[in-house]
C-alpha cells in the first residue's frame, strides 16, 4: 500500500512539532495574544490541548491570561488537519509516535494509516540492521583472516619461548574458530536479508497506489 504523501505538509508538521514542544511560548507571543493561531499550531503538530496550561504558566509571568476559546478554536482546526490519514501514514513511516489527539470519528482511520506506515518503518529498519550486521561480519572476517596469517607467521619465530608458543597457538585456534563461525553466519544473514527484503517488497506492493 503506497500512500501518496504530501512532503510540504510533512515538513511543515516537523517544523511545527519542534516549535510546539516543552518550550511553550515567548513573552512576545504572550503579548501578541494570537491564541487562535497558537492553538492551530499546537493542533496541527499533534500536541494535546493541555499544552494551553503550559502557555498559561509562561504568560502569567507577564500578567497575561490566555484566550481559551480562541485557542481551542484554532486547536480544533489544526488537529483535524493533523489527523488526516496521509499524515498518520507519514508519521508512522518516520517511526515517530503520536499523542492520540484525534476526535472519535477520525481516530480509527488515523490509527489504521499510522500502523501501515509503522509497518513499513519497522521492516526498513530490520533490513538496514541486517545489512549492517553483514557488513560488520564481512569486515571482521577480513580482519580475522589477516590475524590468522600474522599469528601463523609469528609462530615461526625461533626466539619464542614455549609458553609464548602455546599462547600463540591458542590465539590462532580461537581466531580459526571465529573464522568458521563467521563463514557460517554471513550466508545465514544473507538468507535472512533476502527473506526480509521480500517481505518489504511485498508490503510496498500491497501499499502501491493506495490513497487515504
Q: What is the 3-state secondary structure (H, E, C) of the chain?
A: CCCCCCHHHHHHHHHHHHHCCCCCCCHHHHHHCCHHHHHHHHHHCCCCCCHHHHHHHHHHCCCCCCCHHHHHHHHHHHHHHHCCHHHHHHHHHCCCCCCCCCCHHHHHHHHHHHHHHHHHHHHHHHHHHHHHHHHHHHHHHHHHHHHHHHHHHHCCCCCCCHHHHHHHHHHHHHHHHHHHHHHHHHHHHHHHHHHHHHHHHHHHHHHCCCCC
pTM, whole model, 2 decimals? 0.76
Q: pLDDT averaged over the chain? A: 87
For residue 211, the model assigns a pLDDT of: 64
52-72 average pLDDT score: 90
210: confidence class by pLDDT, cuts 50, 70, 90: confident
In this prediction, residue 63 carries a pLDDT of: 87
Task: Determine the Cα–Cα distance for residues 85 and 110; give it in Å rounded to an integer.
Answer: 5
pLDDT 10s digits, 197-207? 999 999 999 99
The full set of domain ranges for the chain reads 1-82, 84-212
Q: Is 80 exceeded by the pLDDT of residue 163?
A: yes
- Rounded to 10°, the helix 7-19/85-93 angle is 70
What is the average per-residue pLDDT within 62-80? 94
CB 51 within 8 A of CB 20: yes
Question: For residue 52, what pLDDT is reported?
Answer: 93
pLDDT tens, residue by residue, 18-56:
333 443 688 887 887 789 999 999 999 999 999 999 999
pLDDT of residue 212: 60
Average the pLDDT over 94-110 and give the result: 95
Given this model, what pLDDT does residue 10 score? 37
The three three-digit cell numbers of residue 193, written as one number: 536479508
Residues 6+ apart with CB under 8 A from 118: 92, 93, 95
Residue 69 neighbours by CB under 8 Å, 6+ apart: none
Rounded to an integer, the average pLDDT of 156-180 is 92
Q: Give the torsion sign (CA, 81, 85, 91, 94).
A: negative
Mean pLDDT score, 164-169: 90
Residue 209: band (very low, low, confident or very high) from pLDDT cuts 50, 70, 90: confident
Amino acid at each position: 500500500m503506497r500512500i501518496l504523501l504530501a512532503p510540504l505538509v510533512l515538513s511543515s508538521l516537523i517544523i511545527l512539532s519542534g516549535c510546539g514542544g516543552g518550550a511553550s511560548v515567548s513573552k512576545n507571543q504572550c503579548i501578541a495574544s494570537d491564541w487562535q493561531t497558537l492553538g492551530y499550531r499546537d493542533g496541527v503538530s499533534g500536541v494535546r490541548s493541555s499544552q494551553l496550561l503550559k502557555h498559561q504558566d509562561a504568560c502569567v509571568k507577564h500578567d497575561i491570561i490566555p484566550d481559551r476559546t480562541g485557542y481551542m478554536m484554532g486547536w480544533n482546526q489544526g488537529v483535524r488537519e493533523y489527523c488526516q490519514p496521509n499524515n498518520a501514514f507519514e508519521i508512522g513511516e518516520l517511526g515517530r509516535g503520536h499523542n492520540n489527539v484525534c476526535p472519535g470519528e477520525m481516530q480509527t482511520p488515523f490509527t489504521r494509516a499510522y500502523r501501515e506506515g509503522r509497518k513499513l518503518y519497522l521492516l526498513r529498519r530490520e533490513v538496514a540492521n541486517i545489512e549492517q550486521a553483514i557488513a560488520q561480519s564481512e569486515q571482521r572476517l577480513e580482519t580475522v583472516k589477516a590475524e590468522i596469517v600474522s599469528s601463523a607467521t609469528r609462530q615461526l619465530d625461533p626466539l619464542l619461548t614455549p609458553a609464548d608458543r602455546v599462547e600463540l597457538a591458542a590465539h590462532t585456534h580461537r581466531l580459526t574458530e571465529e573464522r568458521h563461525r563467521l563463514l557460517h553466519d554471513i550466508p545465514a544473514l544473507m538468507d535472512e536479508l533476502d527473506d526480509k527484503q521480500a517481505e518489504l517488497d511485498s508490503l510496498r506492493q500491497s501499499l502501491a497506489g493506495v490513497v487515504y
